[in-house]
Structure 1
């Protein structure tokens, strides 16, 4: 790893565990996540290259109903495979041709035994570095860290060390973060984080992002990223924090200032720039709008939603 890009200065085991536990507790269900069959995973990866995942599910299931094994696909008429691809509107028909050719290679050149490493998988027609690594990860738990646009966005936002670098070495950093020998769950988890919580318009609190405690973007309110070149006006705004207050109070009957503050931003400190005075101003605005009640009793400030 180059000297100008260091790993995040956090307890990496805690960071890793938080992400994996978040993923394993609740994630989107896609049928290819329930299999380790390299053929089924390769089909899903090729189909997903130009198609929304929700649309891929039906096409993937229909494809496997028609050609359930790599041997069945290798024996199929290529025109039938291309026709299916076109009917399902799955993007460039060359991908169907390459997938059919790759199936033939597995059957004829590899005697039906799938190559298992990213390097060996790239010998298959139409299988580039990203797809090879995905199949190695999800089928054999033998891949490197997957680095797609979503993952770059997550890493850029989460860690100031990347944000502050002129030329972030995403692959090296991603591989250093990934727990050794756990590419299947890790790559699924970090891609899920980018696809669900850390979207172009982030949904940090709504999706319970497990990295909020460390996330540079969450702490600063700056959610720019390589594919988000301009700062969304909502992020880091008073309007955003007002919304967080209302959501937090909606989950509790009432909260004191120092109970509410950490629920609104992770860098809340009672006497800091974003402390009690800052929070009181937001609450005052919400009170003026008739949204919250503020009770000053015995030196304590307690707030709740307006009934």
Structure 2
């Protein structure tokens, strides 16, 4: 795929929809995100299955719980109750006790999950519902969870819109903080019949690159060319009400370092300094000591390597 042109004119999403600006060819952002996700993403075990029951358990467990903490609980839960039939046959008290023992938050979720398994066995004759509307009929399953299960298990969901996705759309395409606008733009940008990979990818983007503290360059965000926040330095979002100034910030110069080192095999310290800011002076306020501090941060993040060679400091990715 050819490199996108950051100067390409934009049009409102959906042609006449004023809620957001996307490239005239939305396939550019679609392809860029999917390629980024497929090249490298966090490995969670529920991403390696299309079993709707296992995915439903992961979605319920993940509500307001850090994903890294969910993994062992999810595996233990499925070892104990591997199918909806097994869960439906269990004592509700045992399910609630498991939930509490694994510190999974509100115990009502355990009750709802047990009830949902019972519905699958009785109302659906053991056949897992496949559409978002059908899944939303299960106890404790709201529109988001229903859509996520439909997407990840059956690839027939709609665009998922959670807090992370709202943050991404707000920043990238200047979508107003309005639920209806987020729904319209999310639907507009999602490619047809690819809800499984798309919803995983855009949620990954919000979780890895576009969190409350953005990591645009460090995470190699694939939407930097089009992103309104990246261009303006305003990284506020519905869940991020204030944001330090980007212009002149350490974040800005860290990003410049990463981009420059991505274009060159390696760079000497002063050469790098002069390239990232016009007022760089080796012994000045924004000189070698300041630049070494930035490189130390990037080294600790595992993004840059620094070595002393023949009396010179050399940096590389």
TM-score (norm 2): 0.79
Deviations 1:191-226 (A, max 9, x none): 000000001110011110000111111111111111
In the TM superposition, what are the counterparts of 1:115-264 in structure 2 within 5 Å?
115-160=129-174, 162-163=175-176, 169-233=181-245, 235-248=246-259, 252=264, 253-254=266-267
Deviation at 1:6, TM superposition (A): 4.5
Separation in 2, partners of 1:91, 1:287: 48
Deviations 1:22-51 (A, max 9, x none): 000100000000111110000001001121
1:107 partnered with 2:121? yes
Separation in 1, partners of 2:95, 2:249: 54
In the TM superposition, what are the counterparts of 1:74-93 in structure 2 within 5 Å?
74-93=88-107
Separation in 2, partners of 1:118, 1:216: 32
Cα pair 1:238 1:282 within 8 Å, conserved? no
* Equivalent in the alignment of 1:302: none
Separation in 1, partners of 2:139, 2:249: 52
SS of the residue corresponding to residue 130 of structure 2 reads coil
> Residues 61 and 220 of structure 1: is their aligned pair in 2 closer, same or farther, counting only changes over 3 Å?
same
Instruction: Mark the runs of 5 or more structure 1 residues left unpaired by the alignment.
Output: 265-278, 293-304
Separation in 2, partners of 1:153, 1:131: 18
Separation in 2, partners of 1:291, 1:97: 55
1:41 partnered with 2:40? no
Cα pair 1:222 1:236 within 8 Å, conserved? no
Separation in 1, partners of 2:34, 2:20: 22
Cα pair 1:118 1:133 within 8 Å, conserved? yes
Cα pair 2:59 2:145 within 8 Å, conserved? yes
Separation in 2, partners of 1:120, 1:75: 22
SS of the residue corresponding to residue 280 of structure 1 reads coil
Deviations 1:70-120 (A, max 9, x none): 111111111111111111111111111111111011111101111111111
Separation in 1, partners of 2:259, 2:146: 44
> Residues 250 and 21 of structure 1: is their aligned pair in 2 closer, same or farther, counting only changes over 3 Å?
closer
Cα pair 1:67 1:73 within 8 Å, conserved? yes
CA RMSD of aligned residues (A): 2.7
Separation in 1, partners of 2:237, 2:160: 18
Cα pair 2:23 2:226 within 8 Å, conserved? no
Separation in 2, partners of 1:151, 1:282: 38
Separation in 1, partners of 2:106, 2:286: 56
Instruction: Mark the runs of 5 or more structure 2 residues left unpaired by the alignment.
Output: 1-13, 292-307
> Residues 44 and 61 of structure 1: is their aligned pair in 2 closer, same or farther, counting only changes over 3 Å?
same
Q: What is the aligned length?
A: 274
